[in-house]
Amino acid sequence: MSILVIAEHDNSSLKQATQSVVTAAKAIGGDVDVLVAGEGCGAVADAAAKIEGVNKVLVADNAAYGHFLAENLSELVVEVAKGYSHVLAAAGTTGKDFLPRVAALLDVAQISDIIRVESEDTFVRPIYAGNAIATVKSSDAIKVVTVRPTAFDAAPAEGGSAAVEALDTVKDAGLSSFVGEEKAVSDRPDLGSASIVISGGRGMQNGENFQMLEKVADILGAAVGASRAAVDAGFVPNDMQVGQTGKIVAPQLYIAVGISGAIQHLAGMSDSKVIVAINKDEEAPIFQVADYGLVADLFEAVPQLEEELKKVV
């Protein structure tokens, strides 16, 4: 067996999610090769070659892949995939975008967002917003799989010395083009991989009040997230959303502030190691999953939390 992992990156640095996908690939067994497709992505290829357990790194460096357009990327991956038994990518927005296209072009089913590898053809994945866990078996010749990064430990970033091989194939489907982007800027750790996350919900009342959470986050080195209610109300941008339709996080500590705990939010955070809920409604469903619950007005509790944390951290 040989497994192709498609690296997730931003052309300058490799996303940690890729290391988690390598761990999933190692659980399947066989040689693990990594494909880095992008533009000016040499540093990413070098980083991928150092991941422990990687056999070979293939690099397709071309303007056609610079913005990760699914139409171009999928044609490249389909061509490279032919020699492999498995094709894996992280279940981020890039992997979710291009990999089903790859699967359809290969005429195989895709298995989305796996949380465990049972064997080379059998995988475990959540369905119904995480309220049921399905074990599925694929009979396809090439298994196309997206991996939930938070369900697998990151493979060590150092320790490997894979050969880097350049691919000169250029696939430009001519169906789409990049127009522009709006990146959310933040100095805080990435929400998907942060070890502590503090999130606010509708109870925050407005966007300015999220500064209270940011102050706490600064002390803890945490990322700041939000519920769908807070995003829909326009308090914070949508890339901060944690839930079935937003990001899936599984930090060591998740602090939910003013979040009731709807099914779709729990789907995004219920695998956190320790969950803290601060809510003034003691009937809120979030308290059913919280390890530590504090029934209090967040506008009093959060500033106190900041003061208390200053003493101990």
Partner 1 sequence: MKVLVAVKRVIDYNVKVRVKPDNTGVDLANVKMAMNPFCEIAVEEAVRLKEKGVASEIVVVSIGPKASQEQIRTALALGADRGIHIETDEEVQSLEAAKLLKAVVEKEEPKLVILGKQSIDSDNNQTGQMLAALTGMGQGTFASEVVVDGEKVNVTREVDGGLVTVALNLPAVVTTDLRLNEPRYASLPNIMKAKKKPLEAISPADLGVDIAPRLSTLKVEAPAARQAGIKVADVAELVDKLKNEAKVI
Binding to partner 1 (CB under 8 A) within 13-32 occurs at none
User: With contact defined as beta carbons under 8 Å apart, do 192 and 149 qualify?
Assistant: yes
Instruction: Tell me: does residue 259 bind partner 1 (CB under 8 A).
Output: no
Stretch that binds partner 1, among 37-45, 159-167, 200-208, 300-308 (CB under 8 A): 300-308
Query: Residue 172, interface with partner 1 (CB under 8 A)?
Result: no
State the minimum distance, in angstroms, from the CB of residue 23 to partner 1.
20
Note whether 275 binds partner 1 by CB under 8 A.
yes
> Is residue 170 at the binding interface for partner 1, with CB under 8 A as the rule?
no
User: Which tokens is 238 given?
Assistant: 């949508």
Q: Segment 122-141, which members bind partner 1 (CB under 8 A)?
A: 122, 126-140
**What tokens does 148 get?**
């939930």
Answer whether 257's CB lies under 8 Å from 201's CB: yes
Does 265 contact partner 1 by CB under 8 A? no
* Residue 2 contacts residue 85 (beta carbons within 8 Å): yes
CA dist 201 and 187 (Å) reads: 21
Residues 192 and 249: beta-carbon distance below 8 Å: yes
Angular region, 11: left φ>0, alpha ψ -120 to 50, beta rest: left
Rounded to a whole number of angstroms, the minimum distance from the CB of residue 165 to partner 1 is: 27
Q: Which residues, listed in sequence order, are joined to residue 272 by a DSSP beta bridge?
A: none
Among the candidate windows 26-34, 50-58, 181-189, 203-211, which touches partner 1 by CB under 8 A? 181-189
Contact mark string toward partner 1, 66..105, x via CB under 8 A: -x-xxx--x-----------------xxx-xxxxxxxxxx
Inter-residue contact 298 to 198 (CB < 8 Å): no
For residue 296, state whether it binds partner 1 (rule: CB under 8 A).
yes
* CB-based contacts of 206, cutoff 8 Å, min separation 6: 235
> CB of 161: closest distance to partner 1 in angstroms?
29
**Encoded amino acid at 132, one letter:** A
Q: For partner 1, what does the binding mask look like between residues 188 and 227, x meaning CB under 8 A?
A: ----x---x-----------------------x-------
